[in-house]
Structure 1
């Protein structure tokens, strides 16, 4: 424990000149339970982890909530930019510098538990009358690459997915991780057991913090070490469990 405190103090001392000399912008999007606004304040599992990292490194970068379609474009085109939470995919790998993983997550399709035609296979899912997802992003792109031609990409926000499903306007929704579905179910007052995860894991990957390619390697290394310190101390697990229970 003494060594851990000493490492943190030394880390802050070493990085403080770099942090104060060069400002970075941290951006994120609305994607619960990892990053989202609540009561006018930015919160979420990943937000708390990023703030804990900056507390260790001594950085005081502003965190800005942006529309989903703008975040990756900003990360790709603007210098000294940091974004969370981002799935680390093969296509994205060479575009950014990475710190993580924060947490591993999976994405399943969901339908109502009392649906007259329970879906149990990928073949059935491909033939479903309608699968509603968000209008853009990793999930719809992934589904299109898998051969789905029954997509309704009309949802702009996650809440719309659930309201459409509950109203009978769609048969299947795909958009959030399992932790995200649990979060929105609680927030929207959806009774436990009302939604049924279809037993098809469409995607599994880990969420990371991504840095624009021009970012200083020393800063990236400092954030990586700070994250590992949170992992070793048990603080990372505590933050994750806190948001899993909310």
Structure 2
């Protein structure tokens, strides 16, 4: 065979291989597009139900709104078929529950995910954390550290509310509990010192406080009775692929930051719920110890330490307390490692802020370069509970084994109890 003919065959072979690769890619892309289309069509075929529970999901001035409604729109838009609030049915809780329990292609939100309900539905979430708390007027100076501290206080609650059972379970005497049929009466009683404490869901309580006296933060939380994450509940017939796609899109809404450095989830929560308090499960000393451990490891082997942090390995993410984790910036405010959200790695956060507009990352890096160590307070999400929380982060300047300087950080979510 002549060399010319061999080159001709070789050329044709290369062309044919390239064509097959391109064709394969096109088929693959069409397959993905088809899958995305199937998910979008499936979303449109579902019937969505919710109840009147402000500020989570409720109707006001003829419009259904709230955090779970906004999240549904943002999540389904990521999936390629935005479900608008006009497509949502606002019904009494019992009616919505029975619909999603007995009918196909139905969704109810937001629902507490309990062991009794676990196998009755398919789940995606959480959307938010619903905390039953005790409110007090800030000028009363009431401090509650344990149930025994509740002795002698008059506690207001809605008639037949589950909060009454929570109070009885922790030893509160029935004679201390004052029941009323509506929140306005309880708020008035609190303002007039006819009761000392008010038991209610935190965000809903703040919503009704604002409606009654114009101040969302009229009262302070002095004790948490119970905390429960809430989810989107899907009827059992809906394919797992739809649930998984919904969960992935919801995770993106929660974790992916925009140009300002804030996620869609943070904006939605801040607009609807404001900032919450978090019960502390570890100490500030544990935070400092983790930063010191991480800094030492980076000084010994920066590359391997960053790999382990980004993999979420212990001790860089505490598996017993997942809210205790490490993250690291370089001196240009670029995230080089993050034990809880690898999406952030490689992002430059210079000038970017939290949802309140605070450039906390710049403060962390500037503080480390000027003072070596310190603390910065800001607002952030918690990997253990949904919602937004006040966070204080400890930072330390470290010299990496690669010759570069890094700012090692870890934080604690603040309790707002006095």
TM over 0.5: yes
Q: 1:240 matched to which residue of 2?
A: 269
1:70 to partner: Cα distance: 4.0
Taking structure 2 as the reference length, what is the TM-score of the superposition?
0.47
Choose between structure 1 and 2 for higher RCO, CA contacts under 8 A separated by at least 6 residues: 1
Q: 1:50 matched to which residue of 2?
A: 72
Runs of 5+ unmatched residues, structure 2: 1-31, 257-262, 276-418
CA distance in structure 2 between the partners assigned to 1:106 and 1:147 by the alignment: 19
Q: Does residue 32 in structure 1 map to residue 54 in structure 2?
A: yes
Count of aligned pairs between the two proteins: 232
Q: Secondary structure at the match of 2:124?
A: strand
Q: Does residue 155 in structure 1 map to residue 181 in structure 2?
A: yes
Contact 1:109 1:197 in 2 (8 A): yes
Taking structure 1 as the reference length, what is the TM-score of the superposition?
0.75
Task: Please give the residue correspondences for 1:184-203 in structure 2 after superposition, counting only pairs within 5 Å.
Answer: 184-191=208-215, 194-198=218-222, 200-203=223-226
Q: 1:5 matched to which residue of 2?
A: none
Q: Secondary structure at the match of 1:214?
A: coil
Which of these two proteins has the greater Rg computed from alpha carbons?
2
1:125 to partner: Cα distance: 2.9
What are the superposed Cα offsets for residues 116-161 of structure 1, whole Å, 9 maximum, x if unpaired?
x94624124365444313534x5445445545553455435x4454
Contact 1:139 1:175 in 2 (8 A): yes
Q: 2:127 matched to which residue of 1?
A: 102
2:91 aligned residue (63, 66, 79): 66
Q: 1:182 matched to which residue of 2?
A: 206
Q: Secondary structure at the match of 1:174?
A: strand
Runs of 5+ unmatched residues, structure 1: 1-7
CA distance in structure 2 between the partners assigned to 1:96 and 1:126 by the alignment: 41
What are the superposed Cα offsets for residues 169-195 of structure 1, whole Å, 9 maximum, x if unpaired?
544321222x33333332322557752
1:12 to partner: Cα distance: 4.0
CA distance in structure 1 between the partners assigned to 2:35 and 2:47 by the alignment: 21
CA distance in structure 1 between the partners assigned to 2:104 and 2:180 by the alignment: 32
Change (3 A) 1:19 1:85: closer
Q: 1:209 matched to which residue of 2?
A: 232
RMSD: 3.3
Q: 1:87 matched to which residue of 2?
A: 112
CA distance in structure 2 between the partners assigned to 1:72 and 1:141 by the alignment: 22
Q: Secondary structure at the match of 2:200?
A: coil
Q: 2:323 matched to which residue of 1?
A: none
CA distance in structure 2 between the partners assigned to 1:129 and 1:33 by the alignment: 26
Q: Secondary structure at the match of 2:201?
A: coil
Q: Does residue 165 in structure 1 map to residue 165 in structure 2?
A: no
